[in-house]
Structure 1
């Protein structure tokens, strides 16, 4: 019962914190993309602080987050891995659902930072336009973040990896950094309960540019799924102690 109370307190805190921090940073973010990034990084730090001090969920980033222009292909399990990845890199740009643009605060800041919206069922068109923007130099360099399965996936569930990741990798001509996680065990995609423990996002060894599509996709899925399963097993083992 106590953990349920902590979980609901945490959710309320995160919900209230978003419009408050959004309004505080609005004058700076209105005129500067740096202000928008600063606001969202402040929100990410605040949520992770509340997760640890209210719920007992410590957020740990492992590996070496990239600072140069790369593609990040990540496992997506909950809102928490978005915050942890974004907080870890200097200029992250997510490929995200277009519906997010209409959300209060988040949508406005996403537009300001140049995030890439994708229509449901038209992911291929969005990737094509994005690649065209990259080629003509309309898109600023940074860390392009794509969720290779295209949606949140519960820990342990099997969902195929999307071909758009390979297309983006080929056209960008940049290394790809895989990212594994177990955060869905602590912060599930549905429900209010938040579990105490160590939620991990881990940046794995970069994959070089120029790999053949089949080899790239097979390697990406193997390293991300294998490491995510290991992190999940570790989390479950520690929760039983």
Structure 2
């Protein structure tokens, strides 16, 4: 019960802090994308610090986060891995549903950091525009973060890797950096409780551009799932056969 109450207090202040950081940085974010990135990085660091001392859940990034133009294909278990991956790279951005553009503050920040709004079924056109904007100098390059299974997947649950990941890999023509995690062991998809422990995201070796679909998808899934299972076992979670 005490841990649940500590978790509830943490979640409450986390959302209050989100509003405070968004408003404080908003003038700078409107002027420059650097301001939007600074706000998102500062907020993420605040969440990590308060998470540690309020709930006992610490965070750790392993491997070598990329700094150049790459696609990051990550395991997604909760909101925490989004912040940990984003904070580890200099210019992270996301593919987002177009409706989020109209969310107060959140939508504006997402656009300012270079996230790509897409309509259902028109992802290819959106990515093509992003690449053209980077080439023309209208948008900075960076690290495009995607979730290969398309949604949050709880520890121990199997979900397919979507072939759209390969379509992006092929269209971007960039290296792909797989990312594994165990954060769902401590910060679940649903509910209030945040468990003490060590939440980890691990950047794995790059997959070079140019692989065919079957080779790429097999390598990505094998590497991410193997590393994630290892991290979850390290955290004390073992999936049932």
User: TM-score with structure 1 length normalisation?
Assistant: 0.92
1:129 to 105, 126, 139: 126
Alpha-carbon deviations, 1:122-169, whole Å to 9, x = none?
2x4123321243146255311111111111111111111111110111
For structure 1, list consecutive stretches of 5 or more residues without a partner in the other structure: none
Q: Give yes or no for contact 2:117–2:126 (8 Å, CA) kept in 1.
A: no
* 1:132–1:101 distance in 2 versus 1, CA, 3 Å: closer
Aligned residues: 235
Give yes or no for the alignment of 1:214 onto 2:211. no
Q: Give yes or no for contact 1:183–1:201 (8 Å, CA) kept in 2.
A: yes
For structure 2, list consecutive stretches of 5 or more residues without a partner in the other structure: none
Output the CA distance in 2 between the equivalents of 1:129 and 1:102: 17
The equivalences for 1:1-241 within 5 A come to 1-119=1-119, 122=120, 124-135=121-132, 137=135, 139-236=139-236
- Superposition deviation, residue 101 in structure 1: 2.9
* 1:87–1:213 distance in 2 versus 1, CA, 3 Å: same
**Structure 1 stretches (4+) deviating beyond 6 angstroms?**
none
Output the CA distance in 2 between the equivalents of 1:66 and 1:78: 21
RMSD across aligned positions (CA): 1.6
User: TM-score with structure 2 length normalisation?
Assistant: 0.92
Alpha-carbon deviations, 1:71-90, whole Å to 9, x = none?
10001111101100110001
Alpha-carbon deviations, 1:71-129, whole Å to 9, x = none?
1000111110110011000111111233433333322211222211234xx2x412332
Output the CA distance in 2 between the equivalents of 1:14 and 1:52: 13
